[in-house]
Amino acid sequence: MSGLLVLTAVPAEAEAIQAGLADPTVAVVPVGVGPAVAGAATARLLALAELAGRPYRAVVSAGVAGGFAGRVAVGGTVLGSRAIAADLGAESPDGFIPIDDLGMPAELLGGGSTLDADPALLAALRTAIPTATVGPVLTVSTVTGTTAGTDELIRRYPDAVAEAMEGYGVAVAASQAGVPFVELRTVSNPIGPRDRDAWRMRDALTALTAAATALR
């Protein structure tokens, strides 16, 4: 995968990925936390590379995530089949309404609240990381920290395997630029009541280094 752009939220994630790489054609860049800054930074990096005559061939949103208990273990690796903007929409007396269902013109939805991973990229990573759990990864602006919030996400997205904060933003930028996208995550904690003492960040970063070898 030459000409690959890998985006993380924080430097620790970028360093973990770089530790598993020995490939100068893979650029690993920490761009910040959340879908807005991740999307803006991705768009800028893609545009600059294209202007320089060295466009990236693919984009990976990578880093640490929370995993849904029973679907992926702490320390496990996730490959996102879809990036879903889980909190992009509107509240109503009948519950949450996704942006796709608000009656807006299609041209204003930018592909909608769900963007699929590139099939070829996903297949290549599945082959390289056969133990990875594959499924939708939710993008949230507020990390889930209660049982009620977890149950609501499971009800709305019964096949989701993890949640993070950047994937959808990166996916939108890649889609707008016509560049293939995929999401790679390792799990530091189960999604649910917030308990930082139970997070296994070191295990997740170690798993991220191991998974990064698939990007070479």
Question: For residues 3 and 85, what is the distance between their CA atoms, to the nearest angstrom?
Answer: 27
| Joined tokens for residue 59 | 């984009």
Which amino acid would we find at residue 43?
A
Q: Where are the strands (E) in the chain, listed by range? A: 4-8, 26-30, 58-67, 77-85, 89-90, 97-98, 114-116, 133-139, 162-164, 181-190
Question: For residues 135 and 80, what is the distance between their CA atoms, to the nearest angstrom?
Answer: 5
Average pLDDT, the chain: 92
Residue 2 confidence (pLDDT)? 46
- Domain 4-215, CATH: 3.40.50.1580
Residue 199 confidence (pLDDT)? 83
> How many Cβ atoms sit within 10 Å of the Cβ of residue 21?
17
Residue 106 confidence (pLDDT)? 59
The tens digit of pLDDT for each residue in 28-75 reads 999 999 999 999 999 999 999 999 999 999 999 999 999 999 999 999
Residue 190 confidence (pLDDT)? 93
The tens digit of pLDDT for each residue in 15-31 reads 999 999 978 889 999 99
Segments in 95-182 forming alpha helices (H): 119-128, 147-156, 167-177
Question: For residues 56 and 172, what is the distance between their CA atoms, to the nearest angstrom?
Answer: 15
Average pLDDT of span 201-208: 95
Which amino acid would we find at residue 36?
A
The tens digit of pLDDT for each residue in 149-193 reads 999 999 999 999 999 999 999 999 999 999 999 999 999 999 988
Using the predicted structure, report yes or no on whether residue 99 has a pLDDT greater than 90.
Answer: no
**Least confident piece of the model among 57-66, 91-100, 112-121, 133-142:** 91-100
The percent of residues above 90 in pLDDT, for the chain, comes to 78
The percent of residues above 70 in pLDDT, for the chain, comes to 96
Residue 109 confidence (pLDDT)? 62
Segments in 129-166 forming alpha helices (H): 147-156
CA–CA distance from 176 to each of 49, 146, 150 (Å)?
A: 15, 34, 31
